[in-house]
Amino acid sequence: MSQKIPDDVVFDNRPVGVFDSGIGGLTVVRALREALPNEDICYLGDTARVPYGNKSVDSIIRFAKQDAAFLAGKGVKALIVACNTASSVAMEPLRGYFPELPSMGVIEAGIEAVLRTGASRITVIGTRATINSDAYRRGLHARSRSLLIESIPCPLFVPFAEEGVCEGRLAEEVFDLYLARQRSAPPDVLLLGCTHYPLFRGALDEYFGGKVRIIDSAQACAESARAFLAARGLCANPAKKGDVRYYFTDLPTDFNGGLWHFLSGAPSYLEKAVLE
Amino acid sequence: MSQKIPDDVVFDNRPVGVFDSGIGGLTVVRALREALPNEDICYLGDTARVPYGNKSVDSIIRFAKQDAAFLAGKGVKALIVACNTASSVAMEPLRGYFPELPSMGVIEAGIEAVLRTGASRITVIGTRATINSDAYRRGLHARSRSLLIESIPCPLFVPFAEEGVCEGRLAEEVFDLYLARQRSAPPDVLLLGCTHYPLFRGALDEYFGGKVRIIDSAQACAESARAFLAARGLCANPAKKGDVRYYFTDLPTDFNGGLWHFLSGAPSYLEKAVLE
C-alpha cells in the first residue's frame, strides 16, 4: 500500500457486515481479511438456528431479514451474505427491506469467478438447499447459455467439515459417494458452492489428481467485495488496520473447537447476539 | 385387549404430547404406536431450529420450554421429551415451569431399560451434546455404582441417518471412526442414546457380529410410557384407536423425503406450528 492517496479521496471507515447461518461464513471473513486488510468487519453467525440448508424458503428469508437488521443496527456500510443458502433465496427480499444498504451475496461472487475462467464444463457442489434453489446454474446460464453445468448436492460435507474430517480415507469415501463419476470424467471447473467446502480444497485437489480447477466461493466473495466497495466509494482508509467483531446467536460449550477449524487465532471480540 | 375392563375405571382420552428437535423423535412415536395403540399423540418437531445438539444449555432450555408450552396449549395429559439433548438438560426446568404436567424423558427411560438387563459393561453412544451432558452415565451410576460405563459421542450418525446412509461400506467406515475399539472388545450392552440411532440398529448388530445387546432408547421410552401413564391413571380407553397429530415449526421442501425414513406411511394430520 505504498501508492500515494490523492487528497480529495473520501474514505468510509464504517464496518462491512457479513452474516452466515453459523461458522461456515468465517471462511469468507478469512478471505476478506486477506483481500481487504484495512476493512473493519462485523460478523454475525446465526448459530442458534444453524443450519439454514434444511429449512424452508419462508424461514430462510425471515432469518436473513433478522440477521441483516441486526447488522444494520451496528452501522455497517454494506452487507455481504456469506451464507449460500440465504444468498440463493434472500437477496431480492433483503434489497427490498433495506434499500439503503448495498448488499452482495456469495453466489453472485462465485458466478463472476467462474465466468472469469472462461471454462465451459462446470460442476457446482453445495448443500441440498443451495442446489435445489438452482441459483448457481440459473445465474451462470443467464450470463452464458453455452456452459455445460451440472449441480450436485453433497449434504454430508458440512457435518464432516464441522467434525474436522477434511481429508483421509473417510473423506475420500464421501467424495466417492457424490463425485465418483466426475473423478472419471473431470469437469474444467469445480465450484465449491458452500462456505464450509474450502476446508476440503486440498483433499479435493488430490482426489481429482490436480486435473480440475477449483473455485472457492469464499475467495471469490472477497475478490468481488473489493470491486463492490470501490465502485460505491465505500473503501476504508488503506492506512488503517481492520478489525473483526464476531456476534453469534448462540455460544455452545464446544463452540471454540469448531471455531478453530475456521479461524487461525482467537477472536479479538466476541459477543452473543439476540435476534428473536 | 380381550380382558374385561372393570366398570369403575376412568380413562383419560386426552393426547400424549411428544416433542423433539426435529424428526428423530418420530422413532419414539413409532415405538409408542406399537406399545400403546389406543393413545392419541400430539407430536411437535422443532424443525426450524434443528438440531439442538450443537446449541448451548441456555438455548436448549428456552427451546424446550417453548415446545412444552405449545403442547400444553393442545391439552396434552402428559409430556414425553423424545429429544435426548433436551432430555439431558431440560427435565428439571420443565417440571418447574409446568408443575401440573407429568413429564418423562427419553434418557430416564433408557437408563431403566439398561438396568433391567442386569448387564455390567455398558457403552453409551449419542450426540456430542448428550454425551457432554453426562446424563446417561450420571443416571446409571446413581442407581448402580458398580457399572462400567463408557460414553462415546458419534456426531456423524445423525447426518448419515438423515441422508438414509444407514448400512453398507460408508456406514461401516463411520462405525469404525467411533467404535473400532468396542468392536474388538465388545461391551455387554450398547445403548443408542439418540433418537436417530435406531435406524442403524441392524447394521450395528451386524458390525458387532451379534455379540452386543443393543438397547434402543426409543423403544425403551415407549415401554416406560406405558407404566408411566398407568401409574398416574392416565391411560386412554383401550377400546379406542389412537391417532397422531404432527406439528413442525418448519416444513422444508425436501421434508417428506426425510420423513419417510422415520414413518412407515403418510401422516394423517400435519400442521406448521409457530412458537416464536
- The ipTM (two decimal places) reads 0.74
**Distance from A108 to chain B by nearest Cα, in Å?**
23
Query: Are residues A120 and A75 both part of a single domain?
Result: no
Mean pLDDT of A171-183: 95
Q: Could you tell me which chain B residue has the CA closest to the CA of A21?
A: B49
Report the 10 Å Cβ neighbour count for B155: 20
DSSP conformational letter for B15: P
Nearest residue on chain B to A256, alpha-carbon basis: B54
In a domain, A82, yes or no: yes
Which residues in B lie closer than 8 A to residue A47 (C-beta atoms)? Answer: 54-55
B57 contacts A253? CB cut-off 8 A: yes
Residue pairs between chains A and B whose CB atoms are closer than 8 Å: 75
Q: Tell me what the pLDDT averaged over chain A comes to.
A: 91
Q: Please give the pLDDT value at position B259.
A: 64
The answer on A192 and A61 residing in a single domain is: no
Assess if residue A10 is contained within a domain. Answer: no
* Active site residue ranges of B: 83, 194
Q: Does the residue A8 lie in any domain? A: no
CB atoms within 10 A of CB B141: 13
Per annotation, catalytic residue among A42, A154, A166, A194: A194
B149 DSSP β-pair partners: B122
In a domain, B71, yes or no: yes
Looking at the structure, tell me whether residues B196 and B261 fall in a common domain: no
- Statement: residue A163 has pLDDT above 80: yes
Chain B contact set for A132 (CB, 8 A): 253-254
In this structure, what CATH number is given to the domain that contains residue A39? 3.40.50.1860
Domain count, chain B: 2
Sheet holding B41-45, edge to edge: B103-105, B78-81, B16-20, B41-45, B244-248, B270-272
CA-to-CA separations, B139 to A167, A274, B80, B107, B196, in angstroms, rounded: 37, 34, 18, 9, 21
Helix (H, G, I), strand (E, B) or coil at A9: coil
Same domain (yes/no): B190, B130: yes
Residue B152 lies in a domain: yes
Residue numbers in chain B where pLDDT is lower than 50: 1
Task: Quote the CA–CA distance of B120 and A70 in Å, as a whole number.
Answer: 52
Q: Determine the structural domain holding residue B188 and report its residue range.
A: 108-217
Average pLDDT rounded to a whole number, residues A186-199? 94
Q: Are residues B116 and B201 in the same domain?
A: yes
Query: What pLDDT score was predicted for residue A173?
Result: 92
| Average pLDDT of the residues in A76-90 | 95
Backbone angles phi, psi at B149, to 5 degrees: -120, 130
B175, B196, B217: which is the final residue of a domain?
Answer: B217
Q: Are residues B43 and B121 in the same domain?
A: no
Tens of pLDDT, residues B23-67: 889 999 999 999 999 999 999 999 999 888 878 889 999 999 999
What is the per-residue pLDDT for B145?
95
pLDDT digits (tens, 9 = 90+) for A201-257: 999 999 999 999 999 989 999 999 999 999 999 999 999 999 999 999 998 766 665
Q: Which chain A residues have a beta carbon less than 8 Å from that of B155? A: 159, 162-163
Residues of chain B found within 8 Å of residue A169, distances taken between Cβ atoms: 173
Tell me which of A203, A219, A235 is where a domain ends.
A219
Q: Which residues pair with B193 in a beta bridge?
A: none
Chain B hits for A252, Cβ within 8 Å: 54-56, 59, 129
| Cβ distance of A54 and B165 shorter than 8 Å | no
- Does B113 share its domain with B41? no
Q: What is the pLDDT of residue B191?
A: 97
How many Å apart are CA B68 and CA B177, to the nearest integer?
A: 36
A186, amino acid identity? P
Q: Is residue A6 part of a domain?
A: no
> Could you tell me if B70 and B93 lie in one domain?
yes
The answer on B176 and B151 residing in a single domain is yes
Do A101 and A122 reside in the same domain of the chain?
A: no
A227 and A101 in a single domain? The answer is yes
Tell me if A7 is assigned to some domain: no
- How close, in Å, is residue A252 to chain B by CA atoms? 4
Cβ contact, residue pair B252, A129, below 8 Å: yes
Q: Say whether both B177 and B196 belong to one domain.
A: yes
Out of A200, A219, A238, a domain closes at A219
pLDDT the model gives residue B6: 67
Which of A50, A55, A158 lies at the smallest CB-CB distance from B250? A55
Residue B1, in any domain of the structure: no
When CB atoms are compared, the residue of B159, B177, B252 closest to A156 is B159
Residue-wise pLDDT for A12-50, tens only, equals 999 999 999 998 899 999 999 999 999 999 999 999 998
Max mean pLDDT range (A10-14, A127-131, A194-198): A10-14
A233 vs chain B: nearest CA distance in angstroms? 39
| Torsion angle, alpha carbons of B175, B181, B187, B193, to 10 | -40
